Amino acid sequence: MSLGSWAERTTPDGAPTAVVPSMDASTMKLRAGSPSSPAVHAVDLAKRYRHTVALRGLSMTVRRGEVFGFLGPNGAGKTTTVKLLLGLARPTSGEALVLGSPAGDIETRRRIGYLPELFRFQHWLTAREVLGLHAKLLRLKRRERCADEALATVGLARRGDDKVASFSKGMQQRLGLAVALLGEPELVVLDEPTSALDPVGRHEVREIVRGLKQRGSTVFLNTHLLEEAEQICDRVTVIDQGRAVATGTLEELLGRRSVRLRVSGLPNGWWHCYARFGTWALEGEWLRLEGAATEVVPDLVAAVVAAGGRVEAVIPEHQTLEDRFLELLEAR
C-alpha cells in the first residue's frame, strides 16, 4: 500500500477521513527504510471509533535502540496507537512510518515483536507448540532453537512441554512475551507487559527489556505505571485523551525542582518578601520554594540569615514523576 493512498481512505465505519497532512522533506527521507530511519515516526495520527475520538493528532518519533515509554492513564489512547502502528487498525487521518515503512507493511511486520494487552493462546497447545506456530508464521528457520531460546529468556525453559491450560496468568504473560521475542525482532512493542505479574515477575520483565536494549532492539512500551517508566525507559511520551502532552527523558520531564526549607526566628509570612527566589507554599512547619534551581540555595540562605532567621534545614527536591504526571494532566 502506498503512502499516497492514505489520503483517500475512509474509516471502517464509513465516516469521511480528514485531510492527511503531508510529510515534509525531512520526513520523506525517513521513508527509505534504512537502519538510520527512526523506529517509529508518526505524524498527526488520529483515530475515531464512531462516537469516540481515541487519538487527536499524535506526532512522535521513537529512536532506534531506545526503550521508549508511552505513558498515560487508562483510556488515553495507548493501545489504539499501537494498533495503528502495527496495521491492526487504520488511522482516521495522519500517517506513520515504522522501521522506515508505512505502518502495517507486512514484510516490516516480520521485524516487529508484539505483546498485545489482551490475548489468549490456544489452551490445548503446549508452550513450545504455541511458539512453534508463531515461528512458522514468521517463517523463521531453526524454529525449535528459536522457541527454546525464547522460553529460556522468559524463564519458562522447564515448562515448554506443559499445556497453556495449566499456566497461571503470569506464566501466560511470559509466554506472550516469548512470542514477542521470537526471531530477535528489531522493534519490540509491549502493551502493558507487567499488568498480570507479581513484583518478581515485573522485575524479570524489566530485566528482559534491559537485555533487549543491550542487544540493540528498540522497545516501545505502553504503560500506565509510572514506576515502570521511571525504571526502564530512556525517553517517555506522556499521552492523555489522545494527545501527547509531554516528551523527553525523565530528567527533562522532571526538570522542575523545588527546595524545602525550615526556618525559625522570623515573623510569620516573612517569605512574602522573598518572591524573587520563586513561588512559596506553606506545608506545616516547612516551606516549599517551587521552581527553584539548587543554585539559588546559597543566596536564599544568606538572605534569610541576614534578616535574622535561623535556617534549620534545606532540602533540594526533584518533583516526583507522579506529581509531574498529575500536573501535566491537570494542565489540560
Ligand X SMILES: Nc1ncnc2c1ncn2[C@@H]1O[C@H](COP(=O)(O)OP(=O)(O)O)[C@@H](O)[C@H]1O
Contact residues: ligand X, CB under 6 A: 49, 52, 54, 72, 74-80
Q: Does residue 258 belong to the site contacting Mg ion (CB under 5 A)?
A: no
Q: Which amino acid would we find at residue 157?
A: A
Closest distance to Mg ion from the beta carbon of 224 (Å): 8
CA 217 from chain center: how many Å?
Answer: 15
Check if the beta carbon of residue 201 is closer than 8 Å to that of residue 194: yes
Member of 11, 17, 79, 223 binding Mg ion (CB under 5 A): 79
Q: Does residue 11 belong to the site contacting Mg ion (CB under 5 A)?
A: no
Q: Cα separation of 118 and 111, whole Å? A: 21
Please give the residues from 82 up to 121 whose contact with Mg ion meets the rule CB under 5 A.
117
Closest distance to ligand X from the beta carbon of 118 (Å): 10
Closest distance to ligand X from the beta carbon of 244 (Å): 12
Kindly tell me which of 222 and 258 has the beta carbon lying closer to ligand X: 222
Kindly tell me which of 37 and 80 has the beta carbon lying closer to ligand X: 80
- The sheet with strand 93-98 has its strands ordered as 52-62, 40-49, 93-98, 101-102
Kindly tell me which of 58 and 179 has the beta carbon lying closer to ligand X: 58
Closest distance to ligand X from the beta carbon of 72 (Å): 5
Kindly tell me which of 77 and 160 has the beta carbon lying closer to ligand X: 77
List the single partner that 189 binds among ligand X, Mg ion, none, CB under 5 to 8 Å by kind: none
Report residue 136 as a C-alpha cell. Answer: 512458522
Q: Does residue 80 belong to the site contacting Mg ion (CB under 5 A)?
A: no
Beta-carbon contacts of 234 under 8 Å, excluding residues fewer than 6 positions away, are 66, 67, 68, 213, 249
Check if the beta carbon of residue 66 is closer than 8 Å to that of residue 235: yes
DSSP state of 302: H
Closest distance to ligand X from the beta carbon of 85 (Å): 12
List the single partner that 80 binds among Mg ion, ligand X, none, CB under 5 to 8 Å by kind: ligand X
293-325 as b/e: b if 16+ CB within 10 A:
eeebbeebbeebeeeebebeebebeebebeebb
Give contact residues for Mg ion (rule: CB under 5 A): 78-79, 117
